[in-house]
Amino acid sequence: MCGIIGCFGTNGVAEPAARSVLEGLRRLEYRGYDSAGVAALDGCTLVVRKDVGYVDQVAVRFELEDMTGTVAVGHTRWATHGGVTQGNAHPHTDMAGRIAVVHNGIIENYRALRDDLTDAGVVFRSETDTEVIPHLLAMAMADGCPSLAEAVRKVCARLQGSYAFLALSADGGGTMVGVRKDNPLVVGFGDSQIFVASDVLAFGPMASRMAPLLDGEIVEVTMAGVRFFDVYGSELAKNSDAVDIVWANTDRNGHPHYMLKEIFEQPRAVCECGAGEDDSLVDAALAILGARQVVFTACGTSRHASLIGRYFFSKIARRFADVVMASEFGYFARSLNPQTVVIAVSQSGETADVIAGVKLARQAGAHVVSVVNRPACLLEEMGDHVIRLGCGAEVGVAATKTFTCEVIVFYLLAHAMVNRLKQGRANVERAGELLGELLQGLNGGLWKLAADLKGRDHFYYIGRGVNFAAAMEGALKLKEISYIHAEGMPAGELKHGTLALIEPGTPIMAICPNDETHAETISNATEAKARGAFIIGVSDLPSEVFDYWIKIPAVSPLLYPVLLIPPLQLFAYHMAVARGCDPDKPRNLAKSVTVK
Ligand code: M6R
């Protein structure tokens, strides 16, 4: 949550830094979009422009494109401390306006620090936790710190919580310093510009090489170049890697929204998923087979994929695994031990609850398998084994292709556990081909269905076995982007309470492909229809009970979720558009949830 980027033009001929920062902010907007701002050093003057709204709205209102100078930092916000106001938007400055700070994360002890600073005469201009940082930095400099980097190191010793922040000082011709703890920060090297940002996506096309910072490491950028320091202040040598151009591509390819583009990328992503990951899959499979207990931990969509994964483990490899939602994981920490394998699943690789759970797992001596999509993420650093989804950047806040690829990874992992990886791959490839054909023919019908149902207030999604987790995911997509109440549940649970909510016309998505769950789910749908429900069947088989049929092709039984979730994503997408919602930027949400 919150995206930060800084740009330092090192040769004086690069285009104004603010323009590059603005471009980076547009690419970071998936991390938060309630306000935005830029601080640029113009000569000796630090100019700050910020306001509530999307990056482009603020850019137009305050002419951010026209800010001059070769050093700038910028921020796109997802509010945690303090409402969505201009005053709370970043950058924040010290009282003299000589140091500007942009921050992602939470400073947990900010109240105590704020009290100390207030006692020392500081006047605060915002309600944020962040504002303590520029004031502390200014004080450290006034107390004789020899450099901004050293001031940052000193100030970090007083900060509790998680953070990645950039400080820009107007003194000495301009200095930009970045540091991180439990939040990502990556340095990018362009021809004539140095970037420091929350994600490589931010500077993707503008830099050719990148170097992620580790916790406690500090980067300092001045006219003299880039230097890295460790947590003790000693200078570090750091290697850089080439920026993955494919990953950094955030083009919408003619689609009106990222979500639609990402839905249609799924057939290819499915076929290519896990390519080059055979060794990781086999190593992880061996670790799982050798473990006493196996636990998935994840949030949201990644948790739904994990719920499907546990069925695969049981059905294909006869291994029981539990799924604990990451925000609850800590409460089970006492039952972890060195015989536990924790499969931590996060497309962003930086979800705070998942990271916190993995820390506890590591403390207990458990083995960690990280399943991630974003390169160079925190979870990747923390895994004993790392399996990459490899499906390219997902920008829409609603997870689509990463869900499908997580499901595929678990399917392959289960096959690796029984030494049938090749067979698993062949099944997956077939599913990918079928999905391609399905999506081509489906769009118009789902658009019409959405237009008919856009006024409904409640939806229920039901399924059994792997399709129960798919039901949960279908419901999450609908509520997340179209703001309609939707519940996903095991079909057999309907009659244990929820049936009381069914009224004439209540839409129920009955997920009942031709697998072992079909007949019983149809029975449950029929019970609901007897109470007036409007049944939308998602299946390869027709049924009299369906008022509307979303027809999918037949596939190897456990792979049905790969074919039936994309139509549900598409339905949710059309519902959002039909209701005038922006599917890429749902209200109150952000893609990377880096706060607990
Ligand atoms: O990056 P992660 O996979 O850890 O994200 C977990 C959830 O925040 C995420 O899946 C969320 O539920 C999505 N916005 C759902 O579409």
Strand locations in 190-288, DSSP E? 193-197, 209-212, 218-222, 225-229, 235-236, 241-242
pLDDT of residue 459: 98
Distance 355 CA to ligand 1 centre (A): 13
Distance 299 CA to ligand 1 centre (A): 6
Nearest CA, atom 9, ligand 1? 300
Distance 160 CA to ligand 1 centre (A): 26
What ligand 1 atom has the least distance to the C-alpha of 591? 14
C-alpha 565/C-alpha 567 separation (Å) is: 5
Nearest CA, atom 14, ligand 1? 398
pLDDT of residue 11: 57
Q: What does CATH list as the number for 251-419?
A: 3.40.50.10490
Nearest CA, atom 12, ligand 1? 300
Residues 285-288: contacts with CB under 8 Å, at least 24 apart: 285/413, 285/416, 285/417, 287/341, 287/367, 287/369, 287/384, 287/385, 288/313, 288/319, 288/321, 288/341, 288/343, 288/369, 288/413, 288/417
What ligand 1 atom has the least distance to the C-alpha of 406? 3
Contact 252, 578 (CB under 8 A): no
DSSP 515: S
- Extract the tokens encoding 379: 């979870």
Q: Which residue in 242, 207, 241, 213 sits closest to 229, CA to CA?
A: 213
First vs last Cα of the chain: how many Å apart?
Answer: 11
Find all residues with CB under 8 Å of 559, minimum gap 6, and list them.
Answer: 411, 427, 428, 431
pLDDT of residue 13: 58
C-alpha 151/C-alpha 148 separation (Å) is: 5
Burial of 519 (0-12, 13-18, 19+ CB in 10 A): exposed
- Extract the tokens encoding 340: 């536990």
Annotated active-site positions, please? 2, 591
- Counting ligand 1 atoms within 8 A of each CB, the residue from 299, 370, 585 with the most, and so the one to mutate, is 299
- Counting ligand 1 atoms within 8 A of each CB, the residue from 308, 405, 593, 594 with the most, and so the one to mutate, is 593
C-alpha 446/C-alpha 218 separation (Å) is: 50
Distance 302 CA to ligand 1 centre (A): 6
- Extract the tokens encoding 124: 């605060």
Burial of 76 (0-12, 13-18, 19+ CB in 10 A): buried
pLDDT of residue 14: 61
Beta-bridge partners for 564: none
Nearest CA, atom 1, ligand 1? 348
Considering the chain, tell me which residue range(s) the CATH 3.40.50.10490 domain(s) occupy. 251-419, 440-583
Distance 264 CA to ligand 1 centre (A): 19
- Counting ligand 1 atoms within 8 A of each CB, the residue from 31, 257, 258, 301 with the most, and so the one to mutate, is 301
Q: Provide the residue type at 352 as one letter.
A: A
Question: How crowded is residue 410: how many other Cβ atoms within 10 Å of its Cβ?
Answer: 26
| Residue 101: its H or E element | strand 99-107
pLDDT of residue 96: 96
- Bridge-based pairing state of the strands 293-298 and 322-325: parallel
Residues with CB under 6 A from ligand 1: 299-302, 346-348, 351, 354, 397-399, 476, 480, 593
Nearest CA, atom 2, ligand 1? 346
pLDDT of residue 274: 86
- Counting ligand 1 atoms within 8 A of each CB, the residue from 33, 198, 262, 302 with the most, and so the one to mutate, is 302
What ligand 1 atom has the least distance to the C-alpha of 589? 14
Q: What is the rounded (10 degree) CA torsion for 503, 509, 513, 518?
A: -20
- Extract the tokens encoding 188: 């990018």
Nearest CA, atom 7, ligand 1? 300
pLDDT of residue 81: 86
- Helix crossing, 278-289 with 421-453: angle to 10°? 100
Nearest CA, atom 16, ligand 1? 398
Side-chain half-sphere of 11: how many Cα atoms within 13 Å? 8
pLDDT of residue 595: 78
- Extract the tokens encoding 394: 């997902």
What ligand 1 atom has the least distance to the C-alpha of 397? 14
pLDDT of residue 251: 86
Q: What does CATH list as the number for 440-583?
A: 3.40.50.10490
Opening angle at CA 66, ends 64 and 71, nearest 5: 80
What ligand 1 atom has the least distance to the C-alpha of 299? 6
Distance 543 CA to ligand 1 centre (A): 34
Total residue count of the chain as it appears in this document: 596
pLDDT of residue 128: 96
Distance 571 CA to ligand 1 centre (A): 19
Distance 352 CA to ligand 1 centre (A): 11
What ligand 1 atom has the least distance to the C-alpha of 348? 1
> Buried b vs exposed e over 252-265: b needs ≥16 C-beta within 10 Å?
eeeeebbbbbbbbb
Nearest CA, atom 10, ligand 1? 301
| Residue 451: its H or E element | helix 421-453
Per-residue pLDDT of the chain (596 residues; tens, 9 = 90+): 799 999 998 655 567 899 999 999 999 999 999 999 999 998 899 999 999 999 999 999 999 999 999 899 999 998 888 899 999 999 999 999 999 999 999 999 999 999 999 999 999 999 999 999 999 999 999 999 999 999 999 999 999 998 999 999 999 889 999 999 989 999 999 988 999 999 999 998 899 999 999 999 999 999 899 999 998 999 999 999 999 877 778 888 999 999 999 999 999 999 999 888 999 999 999 999 999 999 999 999 999 999 999 999 999 999 999 999 999 999 999 999 999 999 999 999 999 999 999 999 999 999 999 999 998 899 999 999 999 999 999 999 999 999 999 999 999 999 999 999 999 999 999 999 999 999 988 878 999 999 999 999 999 999 999 999 999 999 999 999 999 999 999 999 999 999 999 999 999 999 999 999 999 999 999 999 999 999 999 999 999 999 999 999 999 999 999 999 999 999 999 999 999 999 999 998 988 888 77
What ligand 1 atom has the least distance to the C-alpha of 402? 3
For domain 3-247, the question of CATH label 3.40.109.10 is answered with no
Distance 351 CA to ligand 1 centre (A): 8
